[in-house]
Amino acid sequence: MATQTEKETSTIPYPRECTFSENDWEVLSSMWYPLALETELTDKPLKKKLLDVDLVLARLGGDLIVAKDLCIHRGAPLTNGWIKDDSIVCPYHGYRYDSAGHCVFVPSHPEWKIPTKLKLQTILHEVRYGIIWGCLNGNPSNQLPLWEPEVSDTKYRRFTLEPEIWNCSAGRLIENFMDNAHFSFVHQSSFGKEDSATMGADYDFTQDEYTLTMEFDYKATNPDDSPIGNAAELDRHMHRTIILPFCTRTSIRYPGDREHLIHFNIAPVSARKAQIIAVFHRNFDHDVPVEDLLAWEKKIIYEDRAIVELQRPEEIPLNIAEEVHAKADKASMALRRWMVKIGLKGEITA
Ligand code: FES
Ligand SMILES: [Fe+2]
């Protein structure tokens, strides 16, 4: 599907009743975020929310539109409308919009020379890896993740969980997915092994402008219901990259060149809600039904969910003195320092 990088897009203003401070919203709105899976698009407009901005997504003919969910005739939400003749039809007066956001038909005045101002506020977007990414201010300051070689190597089977919205901040969620010291406790019912606690705490760490990277070994365990089979002890070599701000690519290597990759793609819906799109690649277990693999992955991430939805304060405190940090937290400290460096203050308004 085509990108929209060459098309004219809008800069979306700070929304009303925003749960982020204006300062933090301005900083966050200048980044790419994963909005939806391409497979979520149907013959109806799709509703999403990013940073408290309601969005409409739709496939119109061979093209894709991502826009603010607002008809600027009288402010009706386009996601209550429908798709007809490769255009979105507003549910209020039936005005139709094409994939560039231009109004192309006004049913009550078919002869009217439609003002150019009658245009949707379209969002810069790009499709990569079956995910639709968007940036609200049209000028992204971060980069999209790179998923190589797993996307082009046919040895890997890909499977994806449906997007979910969790009741936690994107910051707390990404921090969980870059935290290794919790494996031995949060994941005791799946792969965590209590006497491996020091392994998750000791990792090599590097960083650059857009990424944080960690590498370490972990002795896991697996119960009977794991697709990888019951094992009292299982060596994992883990290599994880955090693509700032809120995406991770984690490679887990087991003996025998078996590799499992986890891509967590997180978007801040609002200050206390985050959407997670989890995508997996695996070069083994090809005889295991995808539903079984997904059920296993879901069980693991729901162990995380049970903790992150309870963390308080919901936002990551950017005053470093507010929480206590151990050596195992060096990656989360780097995340916090990066957030401060780009101008975030960690303020939420409601
Ligand atoms: S509000 Fe959309 S057509 Fe009138
Ligand atoms: Fe976890």
What is the pLDDT confidence band of residue 7, given thresholds at 50, 70 and 90?
low
Residue 147's CB is within 10 A of a number of other CB atoms, namely 20
pLDDT at 1: 42
Whether 6 shows a pLDDT value over 60: the answer reads no
Residue nearest (by alpha carbon) to ligand 1 atom 3? 93
SS3 assignment, position 264: strand
What is the pLDDT confidence band of residue 343, given thresholds at 50, 70 and 90?
very high
Domain 22-135 CATH class label: mainly beta
Mean pLDDT for 260-284 is: 97
Q: Using a 6 Å cutoff on CB, does residue 93 contact ligand 1?
A: yes
Q: For residues 99 and 65, what is the distance between their CA atoms, to the nearest angstrom? A: 5
Inter-CA distances, 184 with 226, 263, 320, Å: 17, 21, 25
Q: For residues 244 and 316, what is the distance between their CA atoms, to the nearest angstrom? A: 15
pLDDT at 227: 78
Q: What is the CATH architecture assignment of 157-341? A: Alpha-Beta Complex (3.90)
For the CA of 76, the closest atom of ligand 1 is: 1
220: β partners: 234
What φ, ψ does residue 334 adopt, rounded to 5°?
A: -65, -40
| Residues 17-71 pLDDT 10s | 999 999 999 999 999 999 999 999 999 999 999 999 999 999 999 999 999 999 9
Mean pLDDT for 281-305 is: 95
pLDDT at 202: 87
What φ, ψ does residue 56 adopt, rounded to 5°?
A: -120, 135
Domain ranges, ordered by start, for the chain: 22-135, 157-341
Q: Which of 68, 69, 74 has the most ligand 1 atoms within 8 A of CB, as the residue to mutate? A: 74
pLDDT at 119: 97
What φ, ψ does residue 100 adopt, rounded to 5°?
A: -90, -5
Q: Which two tokens stand for residue 349?
A: 């308004």
266: β partners: 276
Whether 278 shows a pLDDT value over 80: the answer reads yes
Asked whether 221 and 233 are in contact (CB, 8 A), the reply is: yes
Residue nearest (by alpha carbon) to ligand 1 atom 4? 93
Q: Which of 95, 112, 121 has the most ligand 1 atoms within 8 A of CB, as the residue to mutate? A: 95
| Residues 133-171 pLDDT 10s | 999 999 999 999 999 999 999 999 999 999 999 999 999
E-strand stretches of the chain: 33-37, 46-50, 53-60, 63-68, 82-84, 87-89, 96-97, 103-105, 124-128, 131-135, 157-160, 164-166, 204-207, 211-222, 231-243, 247-254, 258-270, 273-282
